[in-house]
Structure 1
Amino acid sequence: MSLSGETIRKIREAIKSAFPNRDELVMMLRMELDIPESEVPDGSNYNLVVFNLIDQLDRQNRIPELIKGALNERPGNPDVQKVAQEINAIYSNLSDKPLLKSFEFDVVTVNAQGWKISRKRCRAQYFTEDLGNGVTLEMVAIPGGTFMMGAPKNEKDSFDYERPQHEVTVQPFFMGRYPVTQAQWRAVAALPQVNKELKPNPSYFKGDDRPVEQISWYDALEFCARLNFTINVTTQRDYRLPSEAEWEYACRAGTTTPFYFGETITTDLANYRGNSTYGNAPQGEYREETTTVGRFPPNAFGLYDLHGNVWEWCADTWHKNYEGAPKDGSAWINDNDNPILRGGSWGNLPVLCRSAFRFYDSWAERDSHDDLIGFRVVCAFGRT
């Protein structure tokens, strides 16, 4: 795309501020853009070197890559930060959708005894975000629609704060195929800081493909901010936490039963406190730890691990019931310090893993860290 002369001028000044000589500039270009020194303009006039380089990269549509590379190498430079925000805003207005790929999977349904009564083949679409060093983030397309949010009064062991059931219309969005893994967390934690530091290995239960845990609500927001501030320069995605309505809509995937598997769950289907039961299901294994993501069957949207494994942060704050709740799927926020958690975890009773169950507690404030808590991200760019 064509950038204005004023924007190009700001880019030149930012590059000269961050890399005051050709040697430093050459090193950044080689490390971040894989450009050999032979392809970098030469000469004794450094202003002209930068002028010609920017002109060259602009014609190649590589300005976002340049700014991303400069930000990676000089994250504290205010001129680079400002121009990165401007470039991000410009490219965020593009309407190109991400390239979607398809995958197939089996969805199982169980009865109240936990016996599998059906299996069907489903298909979903997704795109892949490259986080670097071979680590990717898979974002599944969630179609828009209308659903009944909350639990009906006759749902076993349901609570009044899951009511009144109300109709909500949700716009299309993308959601992480899995909870954010420890490998994905490390990749993003290595990106330039936006608002707060992130520990690269915070989890109690270690494993690249296990969900990251001991993540506060603020940590999850910083993860999204780093994605948007750095990777977003070239991909124009807007990553964030899901609203509570988006989370439940995505979890249910068209079902109205307590779980997306049906009337109950078993430890063949999810990771929870398996020595306890829901309905007439049998007791199972209590693993007492997280499990690798994707180990259990997905729902009809192609999402995994929404029941159990780790609690997932939402953008909303706690309300004692759904009286006055938004009907458009947006986050419902007040001035309390208790964001919503959804989905249950490896350490919780199955009743707390239901699609409608919503949770907060005094220990689950915005800055809480616990090995029961993780998160997944959503993205509203390139809606299907």
Structure 2
Amino acid sequence: MKKYTFAMLLTGFVTVSAFGQTPAKPQMVFVEGGSFTMGSYVGPSDEHPIHTVTISSFNISKYEVTVGEYKAFCTATGRKMRDVSSRKWSDQHPMGYVSFDDAKAYCKWLSEVHSGNYRLPTEAEWEYAARGGIKSSAKPGKKINGYTYAGSDNLEEVGWSHDQSQVVGGKKPNELGIYDMSGNVVEWCEDWYGDYPYDAQTNPKGPSSGSHRVLRGGSWASAAALCTVVTRHHALPDEGFVSYGFRVVLAQSIQ
């Protein structure tokens, strides 16, 4: 825990005169590109068909965007922030009540502040990273390599799925060193929600249009069965439920 606390101190606030109080750059994890089998054989119909996906290398944030980071965004941009005092969330808790539109606005602001290209992960990038990328643990006897959850077959080792959200990084990371990809808050992805394709895909972006956006990973309010690396969730872009949060990717544009 001492090591984790030190890591969190490194994400403290810095002052940038053009934007007011601004969080330091998010800690990123490099995800080396590769191919994997996306989806599941036995889950709900929206997890079928399984299909091969090839992903280019990218960087994804080690932690979910925190209350403190989101607060700095709202302060700098004049955006109204949901009062979370009743939830007793510290600045190191993952931010909830975030809609897809909110998350996109945050990514745009972060890109301007740090002169980078921050965005939400695509659904395929998210699943690839959650599975551990090229470091995904091979499991003898399983048709698809990797753990049930992001870093373990036991959710209690890697994620929070009861009571309320917890400070980020409090459980074991997955094979790539990424925290809380199962449980804590469910995470927005870039894609419109829709059916999976049958054919192999390279850097897929999902359907070209739709009514709902994808969320992944389950949350503290989800049953364990809804926190797996393959479970898909979806919601309207302007919905910001208490357990909806996100993490960011730093990569070339997917537009």
TM-score range, shorter chain: 0.7 to 0.9
The number of residue pairs the alignment matches comes to 225
**Against the structure 1 CA distance between its residues 72 and 180, is the aligned structure 2 distance closer, same or farther, given a 3 Å change threshold?**
closer
Unmatched tracts of structure 2, length 5 or more: 1-14, 138-144
Structure 2 CA distance, aligned partners of 1:325 and 1:375? 28
| One-letter amino acid matched to 1:261 | G
Equivalent residue, structure 2, for 1:57: none
Equivalent residue, structure 1, for 2:10: none
Equivalent residue, structure 1, for 2:28: 139
Structure 2 CA distance, aligned partners of 1:326 and 1:169? 8
| One-letter amino acid matched to 2:250 | C
Equivalent residue, structure 1, for 2:37: 148
User: What does 1:1-384 correspond to in 2, within 5 Å?
Assistant: 69=17, 71-72=18-19, 131-132=22-23, 135-153=24-42, 158-192=43-77, 198-203=79-84, 205=87, 206-232=89-115, 237-253=116-132, 254-255=136-137, 256=145, 257-262=147-152, 264-272=153-161, 286=162, 288-319=163-194, 321-323=195-197, 327-360=201-234, 364-380=235-251
Structure 1 residue runs of 4+, over 4 Å off?
none
Bigger relative CO (Cα 8 Å, ≥ 6 apart): 2
* TM-score, scaled relative to structure 1: 0.55
Q: Does the 8 A contact of 2:155 with 2:182 survive in 1?
A: no
Shift of 1:326: 7.0
**Against the structure 1 CA distance between its residues 170 and 369, is the aligned structure 2 distance closer, same or farther, given a 3 Å change threshold?**
same
| One-letter amino acid matched to 2:80 | K
1:168-195 CA deviation, whole Å, 9 max, x = no partner?
1111111010100011111222334xxx
Structure 1 CA distance, aligned partners of 2:50 and 2:206? 16
Structure of greater Rg: 1
Structure 1 CA distance, aligned partners of 2:19 and 2:181? 33
Structure 2 CA distance, aligned partners of 1:266 and 1:163? 23
Structure 2 CA distance, aligned partners of 1:260 and 1:72? 35
Shift of 1:332: 1.0
Structure 2 CA distance, aligned partners of 1:241 and 1:380? 10
Structure with more helix by fraction: 1
Q: Does the 8 A contact of 1:214 with 1:369 survive in 2?
A: yes
| One-letter amino acid matched to 2:156 | T
**Against the structure 1 CA distance between its residues 168 and 268, is the aligned structure 2 distance closer, same or farther, given a 3 Å change threshold?**
closer
Q: Does the 8 A contact of 1:211 with 1:292 survive in 2?
A: yes
Shift of 1:325: 6.9
Shift of 1:198: 2.6
Q: Does the 8 A contact of 2:50 with 2:198 survive in 1?
A: no
Q: Does the 8 A contact of 1:186 with 1:201 survive in 2?
A: no
* TM-score, scaled relative to structure 2: 0.81
1:218-259 CA deviation, whole Å, 9 max, x = no partner?
000000111122321xxxx20000000000000000242322
1:316-369 CA deviation, whole Å, 9 max, x = no partner?
0111x3125771223213332200010000011111101011112xxx210001
Q: Does the 8 A contact of 2:53 with 2:124 survive in 1?
A: yes
Identify the range of structure 1 (332-341 vs 162-171) with the bigger mean alpha-carbon deviation: 332-341
Unmatched tracts of structure 1, length 5 or more: 1-33, 35-67, 74-129, 273-285
RMSD of Structure 2 on Structure 1 (CA): 2.3
| One-letter amino acid matched to 1:374 | G
SS at match of 1:137: coil
Structure 2 CA distance, aligned partners of 1:251 and 1:131? 28
SS at match of 1:191: helix
